[in-house]
Amino acid sequence: MTELTQRLAWVDEGSRIFLERLEQLPDRAFADQSTLPGWTNAHLVAHVGYNAKALSRLVHWAGTGEETRMYASPEARNEEIEDGAKLSPIELRTLATESDERLRRELAALTDWNAEVRTAQGRTVPATEIPWMRTRELWIHAVDLGTGFGFTDFPAELIDALITDIAGTRAARDQGPPVVLRPDDRTREWRIGEDGKVIGGKAADICRWLAGRGPLDAPDLGRWL
Answer yes or no: are the C-beta atoms of 52 and 100 closer than 8 Å.
yes
Instruction: Give pLDDT, residue 1.
Output: 65
Phi, psi of 40 (to 5 degrees): -85, 175
pLDDT < 50 regions, the chain: none
* pLDDT at residue 173, as a whole number: 86
State the pLDDT at residue 45.
Answer: 98
Architecture category of domain 3-137 in CATH:
Up-down Bundle (1.20)
User: What amino acid occupies position 210?
Assistant: L
Query: Where are the chain's structural domains?
Result: 3-137, 156-210
* pLDDT value of residue 48: 98
Q: What is the pLDDT of residue 128?
A: 98
Rounded to 10°, the helix 74-84/41-64 angle is 130
Relative orientation angle of helices 129-144 and 3-24, to the nearest 10 degrees: 30
Give the separation between CA 216 and CA 197, rounded to whole angstroms. Answer: 13
Per-residue model confidence as pLDDT tens digits over 164-203: 999 999 888 888 789 999 999 999 999 998 888 999 999 9
- Model pTM? 0.96
Alpha-carbon span 33 to 30, nearest angstrom: 8
